[in-house]
A and B are shown apart, each in its own frame.
Chain A
Amino acid sequence: GAVVSQHPSWVICKSGTSVKIECRSLDFQATTMFWYRQFPKQSLMLMATSNEGSKATYEQGVEKDKFLINHASLTLSTLTVTSAHPEDSSFYICSAILAGGPASTDTQYFGPGTRLTVL
């Protein structure tokens, strides 16, 4: 149980185009999903917290107009990288927390990540 998928697993796009990444909780409902960015051999940097039915909360330094997040349902959050540039190339990973439940549902379940390369 508690499987999170991401689509696509990798994408190559031209500079100036937009790319949408989907994060789905397959067998559970998630009121909260998180989006991270990970550079090679580095840690997970939180970009934003996505709550179902409300606006995402962005971390300091993350441009909300560039990284659009939509959490329209309890099983789907999307990250759209708008007007992508080579410096946006990175590994993007989402995670989800089980909706409701006891403290044991603190666990963040991670998706497999999406490798974005902007040419």
Chain B
Amino acid sequence: GENVEQHPSTLSVQEGDSAVIKCTYSDSASNYFPWYKQELGKRPQLIIDIRSNVGEKKDQRIAVTLNKTAKHFSLHITETQPEDSAVYFCAAGLSGSARQLTFGSGTQLTVLP
């Protein structure tokens, strides 16, 4: 089955700096890679996703890059703000088949004011 590794487990940055979280996956068949943000005590919320037919996707301050050959993908947050503080999970799965996602272990991001 799929195995997703996520690093780092904790990340502290100064407000305004950038944050990068990296994930690797093992199953070359995976072609759907979402990122979820989970604030303390709340539900995970999708913030961005990418499919294997593209290498990069941006949405305002958030971007995700995918390297299919190396089987890794990364989340980039620029101009970080205190409200970006949360746990971020990457995941990998198959698009369009309603199959389950395999989640990474999560990264606790703290943005220091």
Contact = CB atoms under 8 A, between A and B. Distances in A.
Interface residues of B, number: 25
Interface string B1-35: 00000000000000000000000000000001010
B45 interface: yes
Interface stretch (B63-71, B72-80, B102-110): B102-110
B106 A42 contact: yes
Contacts of A32: 98
Contact of B49 (A42, A46, A49, A106): A106
A97 B98 contact: yes
B105 A43 contact: yes
A93 B105 contact: no
Nearest to B99: A49
Contacts of B46: 107-109
Contact of A106 (B89, B93, B102, B105): B93
Contacts, number: 52
Contacts of A102: 96
Interface stretch (A12-20, A62-70, A77-85, A110-118): A110-118
27 contacts: A4-B43, A34-B100, A41-B87, A41-B106, A41-B108, A42-B105, A42-B106, A43-B105, A43-B106, A46-B100, A46-B101, A46-B102, A49-B99, A49-B100, A93-B43, A102-B96, A103-B95, A106-B32, A106-B49, A107-B46, A107-B49, A108-B34, A108-B101, A109-B46, A110-B36, A110-B44, A113-B43
Interface of B: 32, 34, 36, 42-46, 49, 51, 87, 89, 93, 95-96, 98-106, 108
Interface of A: 4, 31-32, 34, 41-44, 46, 49, 93, 97, 102-103, 106-113
